[in-house]
Structure 1
Amino acid sequence: MMTKYRKDIVTALLAFCFVIILNFILPRILPGDPIAYLTGFAEEDMTVKQYEYYEDALHLKAPLPEQFLHYLKSLGDGSLGYSYKKEATVRSLIFNRLGHTLQITLTSVCITSIIALVLGLSSGLSKGGSFDRAVTTSSVILNTVPTFMIGIVLLLFFAFHKKWFPYANLSSTGVRKGTVSFFLDRIWHLFLPVLTLVLAQLPSRFLLVRNLAANISEEKYVLYAKTRGLSRRTIKYHYIFPNIAAPFINLVGMSVGSALGGALVIENLFSINGMGTLLTDAVYSLDYPLIQGILFVTTAFMTLSIILSDGLCLVVNPKLRKKERTQ
């Protein structure tokens, strides 16, 4: 019998394979000339020799299974295809920008997870109290606000009105890389984009932790701990947290995907040279190989984060490990 962890891995890998196949099929089934989709150039803008060159380079004369093998080869060798619009491999274009996107994404996920855990445990333990009502109500309201709207408000107030933070880019001109000044300057530039993502993700993460903590706090062993006069800190982190650790880790794993999607949006808002602005450029210039490459890389990161979070759940939860062994 297949264990739950193995099922989750298989499901994630099947979803990843589906994206790969979809990437290959879409340009070939859309109305119009596949060469126009795969190069970004209209047929009327190409000479006969150029058209024949692209047709051979993309193996469009070959049978469909052979075309798919060439496509898989481009993924396997790491090139991820070629952008004829930018005259560079898709890999080089993506990895020149990926670092900026990951800085925003991973920083926001870490900060959001810590805040959601601290607030969620405190709120769940004092269910129905004034603190719980205030934080829960605020989270429900904030959860209805779109990410880009949060970013616009922060940008207008802190960057344009107060002028406390920069409104674009991730570094100032003239700051030398590798210095303390560069590190502090990067934090200064990251503050508003990361804060935008944190405020966008925090409500849903907090509400989940809060509900889990509220349910656990009604268990007999937690009530007994309260009657013994143990501190709230001890109850939160020694009695409640170990029992919500597995779903919390899964939540963090899922957060990477949503944070990555949010980062693609706010990069355009804050004019950051990351995957988001690269995707926007690719869409406007109809650079389909680049669009496919970005979709492939983002899906790969999401799949990997889900698999790792599921594996980590087995490490921190002995009950799950025992269940996996008995199945």
Structure 2
Amino acid sequence: MNELPGFDHLLIVPHLHVQNANAISSPLTHGFPSMTAFIGLMWALERKARAADIDLQFNAIAVVAHDHQELVTDSGYVNDFRLTRNPNDKDGKPAAIVEEGRIHLELSLVFAVQGPAPESGDKNQLVQSITELLSQMRIAGGSIIPAQASGKKHRASLLALTGNPEDRQSLFRSAMWRLLPGFVQVERHDLLERRHAELLVNDPQASPLDAWLSLSRINWRAPKPDPEDKSGKEPRWLNDRQNLGWIVPIPVGYGGLSELHAPGSVSSARDQSTPFRLVESLFSIGQWLSPHRLHSVEQLLWYADSHKEQGLYRCRNHYQAETEYDFD
């Protein structure tokens, strides 16, 4: 598909407090739940809404992070997850400790939905019904804590993106200002491609994995000597993330490792009515941006893009930077 599904409303559920969400987003990354967890939440919410006779199709989602507290020990350069001791097993022996990363979050969810436009009186009831369904669910394994504050800032809303492009843009910008202060995650696959091209200049064997690892850390280097500098001062070292902004390695879905097996043909599968395939995580580079820096709703949203023939099941985002970054 590789294009954002159609939608005509934005459902904004602001300032949710989530306790003990999963902070391990993939085998290689941690610090914030994976976008796959939020897309799974969106699908589960759609199924609950349909069961409650709410005729809405949930096509895309965005997450605005306002605050977070990862449950780790603060011991300098190396941090450890705060683990819990499970009860003894049936033989009275201590149970094995399974490493689990947990994080407390304050976040806002933005759903791109499509469906019949509700009447003004019914819209408030519709929003309330969906938020009540959402409050009964878990977000990335974490529990939703009822908000103590009230007021417009913490009130869910349904925005109709109708009218001309100027009206839609104005409505979107107004909604983003409501979600400040906070940060949204967008995909920056372009930075990954650029870093790969840079590495190939000095190493023809460099792979996209090398580029991903290079962007996942801070690489310090000495600047080129200036023969005209007679000051005698030691030049300041530079790092190659100086002008890139707040970039992070992120998982963006799954790639198939096996063929697609028919439903029920694999024993002990969780769902015997769904085709089965072994997969591994796919990775890219993401960036955290303030919502007011986005220029269109298309830059904000994430959606699922599946290609069974190629074994690709990934999340996509269509953010495009308008400025060129200087790596020197």
TM class, shorter-chain normalised? under 0.3
Q: TM-score, normalised by structure 2?
A: 0.22
User: Higher RCO, 1 or 2 (CA under 8 Å, sep at least 6)?
Assistant: 1
Higher strand share: 2
Q: TM-score, normalised by structure 1?
A: 0.23
